[in-house]
Structure 1
């Protein structure tokens, strides 16, 4: 199966053909995927070189002219390094763009900490008005990319990862999906962590919600799930642990509840290792998740 990032260039190349407003801005990373598209649209495929602040600034300038810019590089270079430009050139000027990242939290361990970005969603969440998509399958990535580009002039972040669930779900860019129903708690699995969560909760009497759009946070779906499953909520996110606990607390502000945020821990892991080893070290493998979810929710096995 191809990866989410494998889909990025072909999908956006087709969007360049379909929509004259679309323009792609790159910072060297991923340029080879747009060789043919650049021949067809030399004025709408722009490579600024390894200048990530310029990447965002140029995108904002293009948005001011009425174009729909799609900006792409690794998450650490797209969100963290040029954060001031994201805040001011896009946010303060009130113009939109589609930021599409790669490498996620630790997709390329050999690249070291410079190429890891577990705090990207939390950092963007300090700004107003961002929609954030975290697909869990290449087909979902294609759907959400198209959704993002078509979203008028909104500010949208699409977080791509090499990690993937085994099968696609019918995502719509808005709502959480109910994947499993139970009575002893609610587990919200984000993006590519759905499969580990389903394995971890097999036989446990819990409801599992699947989230691929995390901002805006689907408070309605969470409240509805707690009506039958109880108000113990576990969030399992493929980025910084606790990123969405405030959103879950806000959704349940008027009812007694408990929230546990699981995800990437704050301590830096200073060995390269593999993606699976990083997952285990952060307690995101199925065995660790099962223990932590069962202990928190006191979830019995289904009869």
Structure 2
């Protein structure tokens, strides 16, 4: 996905003189083509993430569209106040592009992990959030983000589904499989695991690569078509991040929701591969299968 980012950005900067890239010493070699072709529109501020967002806000006020990139804890958590004020309060657009998911960079520890990034941005007004599940989806969503006007967060990861899905930048849900016992909504790179985990269950599998705005109309329609109004959310970040929106979509319908994602109960302090951490959070195929089956059985 990071390669898709580098390629699409260089090409977009060829075509759109509004675009400027702001970096904080991350992915500089990968983005060499953009810097070489457009040296006056690429700014590397060093390891100064708050300044990075401030520069993006200034570029926005000057009529430019800044594309800002680093790892998620340094893009969202560390400069959160600047995101709130320099972008949100001043009501200027920008594209924040992270790479590293919740814990892709497992070897460098907690400082490089950010399962709460989407939940943090969810506390601010006016953000579009894309969570592609495949490099081809990432390329399409990045191109739409560059061409847009508002504030967009694109969350890239090393974890990927085997096959891409058609994506709608407006956020419309895609029904991948139909069933009767409930709905499982898979976000981004969770789709492949969800399909494998529910292969023997009579459930609808819906897919979202855009989570803000969440397609509440499409989600409601899918849940109402099932015999059981049961919904399982499977997100690659903090568990329950989208539960409040799903609840609002179904507020006049008796329903049950189970939210799967990175655990909230305690900080996981063990080290291991991203795939081992998936298992520890119940986000591997066996963990998802067990959680979904147990939840649906409780609703009988």
Does structure 1 residue 9 correspond to structure 2 residue 2?
no
- 1:198 is matched with 195
SS of the residue corresponding to residue 298 of structure 1 reads helix
Q: Does the 8 Å contact 1:183/1:228 carry over to 2?
A: yes
Distance (Å, rounded) in 2 between the aligned partners of 1:246 and 1:285: 24
TM-score by length of 1: 0.96
Unaligned runs of 5+ residues in structure 2 are none
Contact 1:186–1:232 under 8 Å retained in 2: yes
Residue-by-residue CA offset, 1:201-259 (whole Å, 9 max, x unaligned): 00201000001000001001111101211310000000000001000000001111111
- The equivalent of 2:244 in structure 1 is 246
Q: CA deviation at 1:291?
A: 1.0
Correspondent of 1:56 among 53, 58, 65: 53
1:84 aligns with 2:81: yes
Return the alpha-carbon distance in structure 2 between the equivalents of residues 68 and 241 of structure 1. 32
Work out the CA distance in 1 between the residues paired with 2:186 and 2:31: 33
Alignment of 1:197-276 (within 5 A): 197-229=194-226, 230-266=228-264, 267-276=266-275
Specify the alignment match of 2:287 in structure 1: 288
RMSD of aligned C-alpha atoms?
1.1
2:30 aligned counterpart, secondary structure: helix
Do the aligned partners of 1:34 and 1:45 also contact (CA within 8 Å) in 2? Answer: no
Q: Cα distance, 1:52 vs. partner?
A: 0.2
2:167 equivalent in structure 1: 171
Q: CA deviation at 1:7?
A: 1.3
| Cα pair 1:206 1:299 within 8 Å, conserved | no
Classify the secondary structure of the residue corresponding to 1:189: strand
Q: Can you list the C-alpha shifts for 1:130-158, whole angstroms capped at 9, x where unaligned?
A: 00000000000000000111112x00000
Show structure 1 runs of 5+ residues with no match: none
CA–CA distance in structure 2, aligned partners of residues 176 and 163 of structure 1:
20
Count of residues in Structure 1 that have an aligned counterpart in Structure 2:
296
Mapping for residues 6-85 of structure 1, pairs under 5 Å: 6-85=3-82
Contact 1:90 1:97 in 2 (8 A): yes
Distance in 1 between the 2:33 and 2:199 partners?
Answer: 46
> Aligned to 2:114, what secondary structure does the other structure show?
coil
Q: Pick from 81, 93, 96: which aligns with 2:93?
A: 96
Task: Report the 3-state secondary structure (helix = DSSP H, G, I; strand = E; otherwise coil) of the residue aligned with 2:201.
Answer: coil
* Residue 138 of structure 2: aligned partner: 141
1:272 is paired with a residue of what secondary structure?
Answer: coil
Q: With structure 2 as the length reference, what TM-score do the two structures score?
A: 0.97
Give per-residue Cα distances to partners, 1:124-182, cap 9 Å, x unaligned: 00001100000000000000000111112x00000000000001110011211000000
CA contact (8 A) 2:9 2:34 kept: no
